[in-house]
Amino acid sequence: MAVLQSRPEGARRAIGLETIGMTKAFGPLVALDDVSIRVRPGSFHALLGENGAGKSTLVKCVMGFYQPTSGSALVNDREVSIPNPKAAHALGIGMVYQHFTLVPSLTAAENLVISRADTPAVIDWAKERKALEAFLETTPFKVPLDMPVSGLSAGEKQKLEILKQLYLDQSFLILDEPTSVLTPDEADEVLGLLRGMTEAGELTILMITHKFREVTAYADEVTVLRRGRMVGSGKVSDLSIDDMSRMMIGDTAIRESAARKAHSGEPLKLEIAGLFADDDEELPALEAVNLKVRCGEILGIAGVSGNGQSELIQVLSGQRLPSDGRIFIDGKPYEPERKLMDSFKVFGFSEEPLRNAAVPRMSVAENMAFRTFDKVPISPFRGWLSPSPMLKKARDLIAAYRVKTPSTEEPIENLSGGNVQRAILAREISGEVEVLIVANPCFGLDFASVAEIRAQIMDQRNRGAAVLLVSEDLDEILELADTVAVMSEGRITYTSPMDRTDRATIGHAMAGHH
Amino acid sequence: MNDEAGLATVLLAMFAGAIRVSTPFLFVSLGETLTEKSGRINLGLEGTLVFGAMSGYAISYHTGSPWFGVLVAGLGGTVFGAIHGYLCKLPRVNDIAIGIALMLFGTGIAFFFGKAYIQPQAPRLPSISFGFWAENPSVRQALEINPLFLIGLFLAIFLWWGLKNTRWGLVVRTTGDSAPAALALGIDVDRVRLLSTMAGGFFAGVGGSFLSLYYPGSWTEGLSSGQGLMAVALVIFARWNPLYCFAAALLFGAAGALGPALQSIGISRGYHFFNAAPYIMTLLIMIASVSPKRSLKGAPGELSITK
Ligand SMILES: Nc1ncnc2c1ncn2[C@@H]1O[C@H](COP(=O)(O)OP(=O)(O)OP(=O)(O)O)[C@@H](O)[C@H]1O
Ligand SMILES: [Mg+2]
């Protein structure tokens, strides 16, 4: 009926959404079990839950990315069928996925234009550019339009994802951990803008997050999932952080961070001398980086993302060739080769483990055996693999590190984001570690896992390992590091023992004043 | 014979040769560029090329219309593309393996039906004379340009423009670069790939008909000798850019024409060496243009070789 569909100009449009008895099984694993949630029009709704609770699965069912095993969705109290994401877009529902869905080789402008439902058959770029620039004027974000997206920083990509949804003029926006790659300031900028739009009644937001700070600052209502079930919901103003975390993890105790053991006069373990390296565009990314880490010390490298940290980690893990410089361990030259990693007991893990530390389509057990598959007992004879010790080892690690997976045989890419991280962590720090190189180890983890992983890193330190921790999260550095170094434009611009510096000084150095 | 005239003859012969030899490379590599831009590799184009040569020749022989032969060769290629596109969307099927199977299938079926057409003479494609103004007969001859070359040139420009400036161009590039992103946009990935492979097959079929209907201009079983495979390699060399495909095909053609051109002025020492020139040149340029430090620029992210 045409009368019902026409809506008055301006008095748009935020829509409400409800799921009823949503259930989704992946084979034997029930990822979602009879979940009913209700998001009021014009509200800012937070969806909480530990890693693997089923948050992403729920919203993907709503988007038509997955077909629920049973259950239905209501939009403005009317039942709708959403067979695919296109149908969701037509209803005004848009989503920013946990993993980027921008097309890397297309420019920002191309990404925006192609995302529209009515892209013209022949694109008049002059006209489109004008429209895009006019649209960008209305938002506080600046994103370069003509660069291929692969060249943008993580923060810019995330802003572009959100811009894309605003550009599409959706009236219901689902955000899956939108701020995990943003700095706190960027997060405030983005969420503040979205909050304003919900208050104006233009938009309804359903946001998945692990950060309580964002929930209390921006959300009106909250729903909590645990192990695939809805375990609670309510107004944010009626709930304390404690209530919410209890809903998320039940009565499981959170691991307390181990106390920092005092060391003194420990020998020098890892030394990086005059390291230079180029980035993918063959421009200098690292310039004369010198670092020293002693046994039983955590060296925290702080810095705004994109200042050479990922190149440093890539050089140290053997993914990138340095153009100059040396690495020493125990005073002996070190190259990141399997044999030397093995003899010097160097381990590490970094952000985006699916890209950097795992083979997505191999099973969990195989991925967990990457360090040990060529050694006794998995390989009793040279070149001969014996599956049962491998499976046993994987089962032990899965139990010890509480990796949530349907079986040891599941391709690791099917695990939830946080559980991939745990699986890799289990592989890397379950043995004897002398040098540990970690980058942003807690990206996208729920608070219990964060506590757990930080405690594990501290344990390794207390046991005498030399730890190099690169993190964009200053709080993480302040909590863990013994010594802090700041990286800016590919150089180490500031170094200080932790007890002789403070947040403001480090922040100042990060901003490039030194 | 003085040196200057000799050089002019060689250059003219190379120019004419470049245009002649490059045409099939151009069509196959443009087709493969389109297919690979959508995220699949079709190694079967060698088979499509040979089948196009056979079917184009046969149809031209029976109907007397070479242009009808070209069309049918293209449609035959479309069918091969459709088989490839359909099989590859089945689970656990690898596009490279299917491509090799189709290459053998296409060549085999062309040889099977082609036996009857090795002897008879079919009408050939006409050429367009751009040399009417010239007095020198060898200049005139060099400017006899085959129309398929011109069509290929326009096709290259059109594809280059279309990949940037049309909706289908962006859709194809999206599908080829990131299937999850395409899914999130509501694009039917398998369908885009099917259609791109079919279109790629059409071009390759047309390229095949050139071999039998223009140059060398008759149907024999040794007609292609791996040109379809070389053209697929050319795509990587051209960094998935249709205009570079055109340039690469020309360069390749010119290098290939070097041996015969030298022979035409009586230099036959090292004839076989000059015949290998295109391959040696490709190898050298490949070595010079890659770097271990970065991945291939422009490679579609979904290709099974880059993934
Ligand atoms: N495509 C899939 N195939 C099989 N299992 C899957 C698939 N997608 C998700 N799962 C499983 O479903 C469960 C819920 O996953 P989901 O991604 O919804 O978690 P999440 O709450 O978003 O966690 P995180 O905070 O880590 O992102 C996990 O145990 C995961 O292993
Ligand atoms: Mg998730």
pLDDT of residue A9: 42
According to the per-residue pLDDT averaged within each range, which of A140-154, A188-202, B56-70 is highest? B56-70
A39 has which bridge partners? A17
Which SS3 state, helix, strand or coil, does residue B23 take? helix
Which of chain B's residues have a Cβ under 8 Å away from the Cβ of A91?
none
Does the CB atom of residue A49 touch ligand 1 within 6 A?
A: yes
Whether A120 has its CB under 8 Å from any CB of chain B: the answer is yes
Record: contact B185-A114, CB cut-off 8 A: yes
Mean pLDDT of the A320-343 span: 92
> How far away, in angstroms, is A63 Cα from ligand 2 center?
14
In this predicted structure, the answer to whether residue B51 has a pLDDT above a threshold of 90 is yes
In this predicted structure, the answer to whether residue B282 has a pLDDT above a threshold of 50 is yes
**Protein residue with least CA distance to atom 6, ligand 1:** A414
> Is residue A407 a contact partner of residue A398, using CB atoms and an 8 Å limit?
no
pLDDT of residue B293: 58
pLDDT of residue A355: 81
Portion 127-166 of B in contact with A at CB < 8 A: 164-166
Portion 180-209 of B in contact with A at CB < 8 A: 180-186
Mean pLDDT of the A223-233 span: 93
Which of chain B's residues have a Cβ under 8 Å away from the Cβ of A161?
none
More confident residue, A395 or A139: A395
pLDDT of residue A510: 83
A81-135 pLDDT per residue, tens: 999 888 998 999 999 987 778 998 999 999 999 998 888 999 999 999 999 999 9
- Kindly list the domain boundaries of chain B, sorted by start residue: 3-306
Any idea what DSSP says for residue B210? H
What is the fold of B3-306? ABC transporter involved in vitamin B12 uptake, BtuC (1.10.3470)
Residue carrying the six token digits 């831009």: B37
In this predicted structure, the answer to whether residue A1 has a pLDDT above a threshold of 60 is no
Does the CB atom of residue A65 touch ligand 1 within 6 A?
A: no
Question: Which listed ligand is nearest to A447 at the C-alpha?
Answer: 1
> How far away, in angstroms, is A153 Cα from ligand 2 center?
21
Question: Which listed ligand is nearest to A224 at the C-alpha?
Answer: 1
**Which region among A167-176, A474-483, B42-51, B268-277 has the lowest average model confidence (pLDDT)?**
B268-277
Give the gap in angstroms from C-alpha B244 to the nearest C-alpha of chain A: 18
ipTM value = 0.89
Which of chain B's residues have a Cβ under 8 Å away from the Cβ of A84?
186
* Beta carbons within 8 Å of A182's beta carbon, 6+ residues apart: A155, A158, A159, A190
In this predicted structure, the answer to whether residue A228 has a pLDDT above a threshold of 80 is yes
Record: contact A65-B167, CB cut-off 8 A: no
Angle, in degrees to the nearest 10, between helices B95-114 and B45-63: 30
pLDDT of residue B307: 60
Work out the number of other CB atoms within 10 angstroms of the CB of residue B305: 12
Helix residue ranges per DSSP H, A147-183 = 154-167
What domains can you pick out in chain A, each with its CATH number?
17-249 (3.40.50.300), 285-510 (3.40.50.300)
- C-alpha B16/C-alpha A141 separation (Å) is 55
φ, ψ of residue A234 to 5 degrees: the values are 170, 180
Mean pLDDT of the A459-472 span: 93
Residue in chain A closest to B166 (alpha carbons) equals A122
> Is residue A225 a contact partner of residue A245, using CB atoms and an 8 Å limit?
no
In this predicted structure, the answer to whether residue A10 has a pLDDT above a threshold of 50 is no
The closest CB to that of A114, out of B171, B292, B300, belongs to: B171
Record: contact B183-A85, CB cut-off 8 A: yes
Which of chain A's residues have a Cβ under 8 Å away from the Cβ of B292?
321
Record: contact B183-A320, CB cut-off 8 A: no
Pocket test for ligand 1, best of A414, A420, A442 (most atoms within 8 A of CB): A414
Residue carrying the six token digits 């509200």: A43
> How far away, in angstroms, is A368 Cα from ligand 1 center?
19
Cα→Cα distances B165→A128, B130, B132, B157, B172, Å: 11, 32, 38, 12, 12
A333-376 pLDDT per residue, tens: 999 999 999 999 999 987 778 888 899 999 999 999 999 888 88
The closest CB to that of A101, out of B167, B181, B293, belongs to: B181
In this predicted structure, the answer to whether residue A218 has a pLDDT above a threshold of 60 is yes
- C-alpha A460/C-alpha A435 separation (Å) is 9
Record: contact A120-B167, CB cut-off 8 A: yes
pLDDT of residue B297: 67
> How far away, in angstroms, is A228 Cα from ligand 1 center?
10
Mean pLDDT of the B265-281 span: 81
pLDDT band at A513 (very low <50, low <70, confident <90, very high): low
pLDDT of residue A205: 96
* Beta carbons within 8 Å of A302's beta carbon, 6+ residues apart: A471, A472, A474, A477, A484, A485, A486, A487, A506, A509, A510
